[in-house]
C-alpha cells in the first residue's frame, strides 16, 4: 500500500474511533446514588444490586456515595450530584424528614430523583419510589406471633423490641405495625430501644435487656437480621435459650441469606422479608423516563414471610390472607 493512502486510512480510523467514542459518551447515563451506609447484610445486597445494574457495561456511570448513616452527609452528597449535573439521582433516605428543600433544588436543576427503600414523609418532589411497606412487615410479624402463640397455647406475651435506626421509615413502620397488634392483643412490650440496624447495636441492647429483664421476657423482636445475630450472642452469653426449642421466641426482619440460615436451624422463629433488589425496577423507571413516559409513583417489592416450623399455613394481614413459607435449603441458596 502507498504510504500516503496508509496514513490517510489510519487517520480515518482514528477519527471514526473518536467519533464512536463520542457517540458512546453521549449515550452514557450518569446516576448519583446517595446510599444509607453499610450497616447490614441487607444494605450490602442493595448496594451490590445497584452496582450490578448500573454498571459501565450496561451504559451507566454510577457515582456512588456511602453516607455512613449521616443525614447531613447524605444532603451534601445530593447537592454534590446537582453540582455535577448528573442525569438522575437515586436516594435511599436515612431519615424520613427534612427533604423538601434539597428535593426542590433537584427539581430546579431539572434532575429527576428516584427514591428507593425507605420513604420520605415531607416532600413528594420525586418521580418514583421503589421499596417495601414496612408497616405491613410489622403487622405481619404481629399477626404471625398471635397465630403462633394460639397454636402453642402461649397465653402471655412479654416482648422486648430492638428497633432499627431512629427516624428511618423502616424503624417507624415496623414499630407501628407490631405495636398495633400488641395493643389489640393486650401484650406487654417491656422495652423498645434503638439497635441502629447493626450487629453490635443488637448485641449491646440485648446485653442490657438480659440484665434488666432477667426471667421476664418470652419474645424478642429485632428489626433486622444483623441485630438478631447480636441479640443471639448476648442471649447465649446470658444463658437465655431462644428459637423453636428455647424459652424466647425470636422474630427478625430482612430475611437475608445469613438470617434464613438461622431460621432453618430453628434459632430464629420467623423472619419477615424486606427485598433489597430494587435496582432492576429502578432501571425500568429510568427507561420509561428516557422514553418520555410517566412511571408509577410507587412500586412495592414482592416479599415473603419465612418461618422455621410447618405448623401454620397462612396469616391474615390487614384483612388479606398471606402465605407463610417454611425455609428450605433451596430458598437459602437462591436468597441475596
The C-alpha cell at 10 is: 489510519
**Closest by CA position to 305, among listed 172, 136, 62:** 136
* CB of 113 vs ligand GYE, minimal distance in Å: 17
Q: Which is nearer to ligand GYE, 219 or 278 (CB)?
A: 278
Question: What does the alpha-carbon distance between residue 151 and residue 130 come to, in Å, rounded to a whole number?
Answer: 36
Which residue number, 40 or 203, has a Cβ lying nearer to ligand GYE? 40
**Nearest of 311, 328, 319 to residue 151 by alpha carbon:** 311
Q: What is the DSSP string of 119-162?
A: --SS---SSEEEE--HHHHHHHHHHHHHHHHHHHT----EEEEE
Q: Which is nearer to ligand GYE, 47 or 157 (CB)?
A: 47
- Distance in Å, CB of 274 to ligand GYE, minimum: 5
Cell of residue 246, nine digits: 428455647
| Smallest distance from ligand GYE to CB 305, Å | 15
Q: Which of 114, 274 has the CB closer to ligand GYE?
A: 274
Q: Please, which residue, 142 or 149, has the CB nearer to ligand GYE?
A: 142
| CB nearer to ligand GYE: pick between 175 and 224 | 224
Residue of 258, 261, 239, 262 lying closest to 250 (CA atoms): 262
CA-CA distances (angstroms) from residue 43 to 66, 168, 184, 215? 10, 14, 33, 34
Q: Which three cell numbers stand for residue 31?
A: 446516576
H/E stretch holding 249 reads strand 249-254
CB of 197 to ligand GYE, least distance (A): 4
Q: Minimum CB separation from ligand GYE for residue 270, in Å?
A: 15
Footprint on this chain of ligand GYE (rule: CB under 6 A): 39-40, 42-43, 117-118, 170, 197, 224, 253-254, 274
Pairing of strands 249-254, 298-300: unpaired
Report whether 295 contacts 129 (CB < 8 A).
Answer: no
Task: Decide if 79 contacts 111 (C-beta within 8 A).
Answer: no
- Name the minimum Å distance from CB 174 to ligand GYE: 8
Task: Provide the sign of the torsion angle of the four alpha carbons 218, 222, 225, 228, taken in this order.
Answer: negative
Q: Which is nearer to ligand GYE, 167 or 246 (CB)?
A: 167
- Closest approach, Cβ 135 to ligand GYE, in A, equals 12
Amino acid at each position: 500500500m502507498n504510504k500516503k493512502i496508509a496514513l490517510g486510512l489510519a487517520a480515518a480510523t482514528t477519527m471514526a474511533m473518536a467519533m464512536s467514542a463520542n457517540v458512546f459518551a453521549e449515550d452514557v447515563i450518569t446516576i448519583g446514588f446517595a446510599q444509607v451506609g453499610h450497616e447490614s447484610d441487607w444494605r450490602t445486597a442493595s448496594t451490590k444490586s445497584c452496582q450490578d445494574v448500573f454498571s459501565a457495561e450496561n451504559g451507566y456511570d454510577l457515582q456512588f456515595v456511602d453516607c455512613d448513616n449521616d443525614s447531613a452527609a447524605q444532603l451534601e452528597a445530593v447537592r454534590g450530584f446537582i453540582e455535577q449535573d448528573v442525569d438522575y439521582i437515586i436516594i435511599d433516605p436515612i431519615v424520613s424528614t427534612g427533604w423538601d428543600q434539597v428535593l426542590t433544588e433537584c427539581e430546579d436543576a431539572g434532575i429527576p430523583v428516584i427514591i428507593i427503600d425507605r420513604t420520605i414523609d415531607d416532600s413528594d418532589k420525586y418521580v418514583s419510589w421503589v421499596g417495601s411497606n414496612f408497616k405491613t412487615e410489622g403487622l405481619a410479624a404481629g399477626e404471625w406471633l398471635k397465630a403462633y402463640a394460639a397454636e402453642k397455647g402461649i397465653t402471655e406475651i412479654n416482648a422486648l423490641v430492638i428497633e432499627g435506626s431512629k427516624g428511618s421509615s423502616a424503624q417507624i413502620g415496623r414499630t407501628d405495625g407490631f405495636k398495633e397488634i400488641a395493643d389489640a392483643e393486650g401484650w406487654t412490650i417491656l422495652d423498645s430501644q434503638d439497635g441502629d440496624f447493626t450487629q453490635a447495636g443488637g448485641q449491646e441492647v440485648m446485653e442490657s435487656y438480659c440484665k434488666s429483664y432477667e426471667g421476664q421476657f418470652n419474645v424478642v423482636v429485632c428489626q433486622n437480621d444483623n441485630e438478631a445475630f447480636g441479640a443471639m450472642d448476648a442471649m447465649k452469653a446470658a444463658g437465655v435459650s431462644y428459637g423453636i426449642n428455647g424459652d424466647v421466641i425470636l422474630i427478625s426482619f430482612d430475611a437475608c441469606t445469613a438470617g434464613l440460615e438461622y431460621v432453618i436451624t430453628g434459632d430464629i422463629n420467623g423472619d419477615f422479608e424486606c427485598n433489597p433488589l430494587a435496582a432492576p425496577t429502578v432501571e425500568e423507571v429510568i427507561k420509561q423516563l428516557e422514553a418520555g413516559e410517566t412511571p408509577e409513583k410507587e412500586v412495592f417489592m414482592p416479599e415473603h414471610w419465612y418461618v422455621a416450623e410447618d405448623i401454620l399455613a397462612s396469616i391474615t394481614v390487614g384483612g388479606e390472607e398471606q402465605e407463610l413459607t417454611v425455609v428450605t435449603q433451596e430458598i437459602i441458596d437462591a436468597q441475596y
